[in-house]
Structures are given as C-alpha cells and as structure tokens.
Amino acid sequence: MWGFEIISEHRKCNRRFSGILSRTGTSVLVSLLFAALLSPTFVARFVHAQTQPAEVVAPVSDIFRLERIAVVGGAELVTIHARLSGLDVNQSSGDDRWVPLVTVLRDTLGDLSPENDRLRYVWPLTYTHPTLKQRLSGAVPFFYARVGNKKGYSGKTPPAVLDLASPDRDVWNRIFVAALQSMLLDTYGLPVKASSRSYQQNISDYRKSHIIRALSVLALYQAVEGPPAFSESELSEIQARLRLTDKTFGGLLGDLNLQRFNEKQMTQALDERGHNWELLRQRAEAESLYFEPLQMPDGSTTHALLWIAKPDLETKRDQPYNQRFLNIADPWSDKRLANWRGHVELRHFDSESRAVSADTPGARSVEMIPLALYGLDNPKIPMVLVDFRDTLNPKKREMSRRVLQDVTSNVLSLSSFGQPAYFLGRSVFDFVTGRRGIDINQPSRLRTYSQLKLLLSLNASLEPELRKQIDARLEKVSLNPLENDLVAESRLASEQYDALLAYAKRADGLPAKLDRDRRAELVPLEHGKAERVIFRLGNILSFGKYTHREKSGPETASVNERLDVARRLSYHTRFLLQVAKSTPQIEVLWSLDEVKRSLQFIVEHGAQANSSAIAAASSIFRRTADEETRRLCLDSLSRIDNRKAKDELLRLSQDKQLDVAGKDLIDAYLTANPTRRKPDAPLSVAREKAGDQTGQQ
C-alpha cells in the first residue's frame, strides 16, 4: 500500500513545530513522531525448509520465499528470492517467476548443531562482473553516465562482495591498493592518476550500491513474520559486516562488538529518516504542496513524493515560494505545469482535505501532478532523487560532490589530512550548506538510490505510468558506467544464480573452495602470531593469489574434528563474554543452565582456550552467587594451560570486593589443588605475591 497524506497550509501543527526547520538536533522528538506516524501495512511470511541433500524450495509467500541447497562437504546455500512484481517485464509477459536476490554460504561441517556453523560468502546476485565497455568507461575521468546494460552473462562464477569469515582481508587489500595507487600509479602523470582513481571509485561505488541492496533485502526479511533463515546473532553479523565495508578499518572490528554496532547504525538510520520525514512534511505544508510517504513492503518509509494540485495553480499563482530543503524550482510560476502533459493522477478528498475513496459521499476529485521524489535515509536533509520537471536537477546536485572530489583529489592532490587549510574550508562549507538545507556537495545519494530501486521492483501498487517515469529518470541520474538497469539486473540475477548452483555442484567448484577455506582456517591453530603475519604479508603482496593453508590428505576427517572443537570453543567463549559484559548479576538476565553448559565445554577443552575465555570465566565468577557456576569458573581457569589463568586464580583470591562465600570457595579450591599456586609456597604467600603483581599492573 502507498500511504497518502494531504498537507494543508492552515494546519495547527505547522505552528506547533515551526521551529524545527532551524534546528537539526531534535532527534528524539522527531523519532517519536516518526514512530507514531508509521505503522506496518504489509507483512510477508518466510517459510523455510530443512537442509536436505537435494534442492529444497520453501512454500511461497506474497513477496519472499526462502531456498536452501545442500553443498557437498557439509555446507548449505541460503537464498532469498523475491517476486519483482514492480518490473514491467514481469507484468507485460505475465511471468510470475521469482528472482533470487541474496545468497549466503553457511559452513555447517555436515551436522545440525549451530554451535560450529560459520557464515562464509555473501552474494548479492545483481552484482556481476562488468563488461569491457563498462570498465573502459569507468576509467574515463569526469565521465558520469551509464553506457548501457550487460547484454549476456559471461558464465563466470558470481563475485561475492565479502567473506564473512575473513573480513580483515578486505581491509589489508584496500590498504595495499591505496599504497600502490599512491606510490606507483600516481607517479606516471595526471592521465594515469586520474583514470586509475576514477576506475577505483566507480568499482567501489558499484560494489557499495549492491551491498546496500543486500542490506535492504535482509532488513525486509528480518521484519516479516515467519521462521528465520538465520539466527539473530547470524543476521546481526551479516548486517554489521556488510555495513562495515564502508569503513576503512571496519573489517578489524571484533565479533563481540558487531551487534552493538549494528543496533547503533539502525537507530541512527531511523533517527535520520524520522528527521527528514518531518522536515520535508513541514516544508510541503508551508508551500501548500502535498506530501505522500512511500512505504517498503515491511511498512518502513524510505522515500516520499511531493505533489501539487492542478486547481491550485490558478488560485495560488502569486504565492511566494521558498525552496529551502525542497531544492526544486518554483512550481507556482512555472508555465510547464499550467500546460502539463506528463503524468497526472486523479485523487479524491473529503471536505477536510483527507484522502478518501471515489465512492465516499461528498468526495471531490482533484487532479494531482507529481513534482519530485525524495530519499529520507540521508544525514542532514532529505535529498531530491527525481525531479519530474528537470531531469538533470538531481544529477547536477550529485555531480557537485563527485566533481569536487575528483578535482581536489585526482587533479590538485589535495587531502583533508595533508592540507589543514583545505580541511578547514571544506568543513565550513559542509556545515553551512547542510545547515541551510542546500543540496550541494552533500553525502552521496548512493544508499537511497539503491533502496529506491528495490522499492520499485517489489511494489506494484504504484501507477504503472508513474513508475515508468520514475525508473527512466532514475537511470539517467546514475553516475556510474558500471551500473545496469532494473530489468537487466533481474535477468542477470537469475543467470548468476544458475551459475552459482552449477559451481556448487562441481567437485572442483564450491566444495573444493570450501575445503581450501577450512584448511586456511586451521592456520591459527598451527602457527604463532609471527608466522601468521608473514603469511598475511605474502597474501597482500600477491594481490590475494597466495593464501597459506594446511596440507590436505587422508586426515580430512581429523581436520573437521579440530575445526568442530575450535568453532564450538569460540562460540561458547563469545557467549560467556556476552554474559559477563551484560549485567552485574548474571542470574537476572541469563539462564544459568546455558552458562554452565558453556563453562563445562571450556573445562573439557581448556587446553585450546585463549585469554578471552580466562577473562570471561573470571568476570562471571565475580558476577554470580551460584556456587556450582563459581566452581565451574574455577575449574575452567585451572584447566586452561596458560600462565595468565593461574595468575587470575590468585588475583581472584586477593579481590577485596569479593564476598566471603567466594573467598572461602577459592581458598578451598586452592587448598585442594596446591599445584594451582607456586610450588612450596603457602597460600598466604601466594596470595600476597598475586596482590603485588596486581598492584604493579
């Protein structure tokens, strides 16, 4: 459903919230208002099937369906399909086929336990290898236009945007490419410098746009009702890792911080969306225009349309116009609207200007002309994406940022880090334009453009003629020669999915790659930090061609067994750290049975535990009063073959804030296990020495 809201110039709320236009920091008020205004109007259901050796397709819902396909060697491909009913190609041909959008590889080691599962690759299936023509055009400096679609699929394996199990590889490759660009390519003169930097920028933007699309699909999937394909922690990991690809050192963020980062990003996006919603609504109200929010299938509003009533063009011809935050030309003095030949919709309103159906008694019909379409998921101000009177208006605004970036970086070699004067001037300019709502050199429209493409594909309730005009203008605004239009992306996604399935069925395809990844995963278990640094350096210098892996052989079963223990140990350690950091008293929020189960696993495999397990066991001992849980914490510390674990036991005995029961338990434990303190030293001496070490640290 498309929501429609009429804005009257005499609304009382205009006076109540009139001060918001000059204040951009009222995020709490706007978020509350935004949450109150929005309510989900459409819910689709995912129904998934259990993993089986053969292909299994879940029953379809109105929009999405889920597909699981087993991969030889103990893995599965999880794919989200969508019915792209908004595309003309589906409607005109009557084809009701489903289009695969996102595929994730889950390495299960061939069992049903989620504790040893590991997410690997993410494929946004609309993301493909560009053609030679597209690549050459992407290397042309100051060329900001599409050059056509990719006609036929090349047959190559679809490129993954990220390896979730090795996100740091993306960081080091990015650093190496930047160093190569600066130290080698830039020295060959301005043409080579500008071309190579333009190509890298277009490649990066192309990848980013499809990552944003994948995030939008996952967000919709998360919002609908039904059995999930991923656990809450897995979905949070996928979303956080995809969002972190936009950060220079995002791949280095630890797993424990992923959920908090993801929640922070989602809260910030909702805050920006609500702020822009109210900002645009009030400006439309002040200018006697009509505001229509456009909803995603889950009810979230990411875009909005502005309309003008055709009768108002005569009655309000001399009305003053302020384009602040709207960034479109004055509609009241525009002769093109008086003789408008574009799309017009007939809407019906009651005596209080509320949208009603045509058969409502007393309803009056009004012809409405679309003016502009805006994206709400942007910092600072709503951004115009489609101007129905001036197609180049949004493109010129988007190009203003790209041109400034290319001139300063590729031609003048200016940097915010190296030139303080440039940094100061750029900061002042950004502040003034953002504060005044001037849509020049503002953050890129890349995210909201990608979301709009998905919205147009999924929602068929928009008038076909209006959707066609939006789609045509949207493709003209694109700055990236590597992009394809919606229909081409739909075709390429299906072809790429077929190629991915064929790759998964080949013995030398995905199963072989999975085996290589597992042997690379064994490296930290076999080698120390110094050796791993050398291996990483070799990987970077070889552009990723060399990756150290442990040798394969008839002991493959033992490899899986070792990975099973290592992954389970990592799973239980992360869980215990999460428990330890969540609350001062763990019994309040957590089930002690689950905590004790994880501690028992640490006890049984303490020889392979790391310092994180030590910190978790020590912290949980201080945060619980349950004697059995405390004993398991002490057993965990005693079983970990690490000097730090033994020192931690002694530090616990010296903790002055520990309750009497805890100190007695430690004393009894150390008395019963004299090998846990320094040989030939009484308990009092050991405790005193541990206290001295704690004081020195």
Contact present, 346 and 367 (Cβ < 8 Å): yes
Q: What is the largest CA-CA distance in the chain?
A: 101
Residue 277 gets the label, from left (phi > 0), alpha (psi -120 to 50) or beta, of alpha
Q: Is the pLDDT of residue 65 over 90?
A: no
State the pLDDT at residue 692.
45
Whole-prediction pTM: 0.82
Q: Is the pLDDT of residue 34 over 50?
A: no
Strand residue runs (E) in 283-336: 290-295, 301-309
State the pLDDT at residue 88.
60
Q: Is the pLDDT of residue 198 over 90?
A: yes
Residue 27's identity, in one-letter code, is S
Nearest to 275 by CA among 40, 35, 454, 4: 35
State the pLDDT at residue 415.
77
State the pLDDT at residue 673.
66
State the pLDDT at residue 442.
72
Q: Is the pLDDT of residue 221 over 70?
A: yes
Q: Percentage of the chain surpassing pLDDT 90? A: 35
Least confident segment among 122-126, 377-381, 385-389: 377-381
Q: Is the pLDDT of residue 648 over 80?
A: yes
More confident call, 697 vs 663? 663
Q: Is the pLDDT of residue 116 over 60?
A: yes
Q: In angstroms, rounded to a whole number, what is the distance separating the alpha carbons of residues 499 and 492? A: 10
State the pLDDT at residue 10.
36
Backbone angles phi, psi at 656, to 5 degrees: -70, -20
Beta-carbon contacts of 240 under 8 Å, excluding residues fewer than 6 positions away, are 253, 258, 259, 261, 262, 265
State the pLDDT at residue 142.
92
Residue 24's identity, in one-letter code, is T
Residue 650's identity, in one-letter code, is L
More confident call, 172 vs 499? 499
**Cross-strand bridge partners of residue 346:** 367
The listed range with the strongest mean pLDDT (45-49, 95-99, 108-112, 581-585) is: 108-112
Backbone angles phi, psi at 659, to 5 degrees: -70, 165
Least confident segment among 305-319, 414-428, 473-487: 414-428
- For range 162-176, the mean pLDDT: 88
Nearest to 599 by CA among 631, 625, 566: 631
- For range 449-469, the mean pLDDT: 85
State the pLDDT at residue 553.
61
Question: Mean pLDDT in the chain?
Answer: 81
More confident call, 100 vs 53? 100
**What is the CA angle 683-686-687, rounded to 5?**
85
559's tokens: 């490899």
Q: Is the pLDDT of residue 228 over 80?
A: no
Q: Is the pLDDT of residue 183 over 80?
A: yes
The listed range with the strongest mean pLDDT (220-224, 347-351, 384-388, 485-489) is: 384-388
**Tens digit of each residue's pLDDT (9 = 90 or more) over 341-364:** 889 999 888 887 778 888 888 888
Pairing status of strand 364-375 against strand 118-124: unpaired
Can you tell me whether residue 56 is helix, strand or coil?
strand
Q: Percentage of the chain surpassing pLDDT 70? A: 84
321's tokens: 């116009």
As a whole number of Å, the CA-based R_g of the chain is 30
Contact present, 519 and 148 (Cβ < 8 Å): no
Q: Is the pLDDT of residue 50 over 50?
A: no
Backbone angles phi, psi at 346, to 5 degrees: -95, 115
Backbone angles phi, psi at 249, to 5 degrees: -110, 30
Q: In angstroms, rounded to a whole number, what is the distance separating the alpha carbons of residues 674 and 685? A: 13
DSSP secondary structure letters along 280-339: HHHHHHHTT-EEEEEE-TTS-EEEEEEEEETTHHHHTTT-----TTT-S--STT-HHHHT
429's tokens: 């300019």
State the pLDDT at residue 594.
94
Split at pLDDT 50, 70, 90, the class of 683 is: very low
Q: In angstroms, rounded to a whole number, what is the distance separating the alpha carbons of residues 603 and 599? A: 6
Beta-carbon contacts of 478 under 8 Å, excluding residues fewer than 6 positions away, are 145, 146, 449
Split at pLDDT 50, 70, 90, the class of 227 is: low
Which single residue is written with the structure tokens 């223990």? 565
Q: In angstroms, rounded to a whole number, what is the distance separating the alpha carbons of residues 221 and 82? A: 10
Least confident segment among 167-181, 449-463, 670-684: 670-684
Q: Is the pLDDT of residue 389 over 80?
A: yes
Q: In angstroms, rounded to a whole number, what is the distance separating the alpha carbons of residues 426 and 413? A: 15
Q: Which residues of 360-382 are buried (b: 16+ CB within 10 A; e: fewer)?
A: eeebeebebbbbbbbbbbbebbb
State the pLDDT at residue 573.
93
DSSP secondary structure letters along 343-356: --EEEEE-TTS-EE
Question: What domains can be seen in the chain, in order of their start residue?
Answer: 12-37+267-477 (no CATH), 56-253+484-515 (no CATH), 556-696 (1.25.10)
**C-alpha distances out from residue 576 to 230, 534, 613, 637, Å:** 21, 32, 8, 13
**C-alpha distances out from residue 208 to 80, 172, 196, 439, 560, Å:** 19, 18, 18, 22, 34
- For range 594-610, the mean pLDDT: 91
- For range 115-120, the mean pLDDT: 94
More confident call, 547 vs 19? 547
The listed range with the strongest mean pLDDT (121-125, 270-274, 392-396) is: 121-125
State the pLDDT at residue 63.
82
State the pLDDT at residue 13.
39
Beta-carbon contacts of 55 under 8 Å, excluding residues fewer than 6 positions away, are 67, 69
Least confident segment among 18-22, 61-65, 556-560, 573-577: 18-22
**C-alpha distances out from residue 119 to 79, 115, 230, 306, 521, Å:** 13, 12, 10, 42, 13
Contact present, 385 and 373 (Cβ < 8 Å): yes
State the pLDDT at residue 31.
35
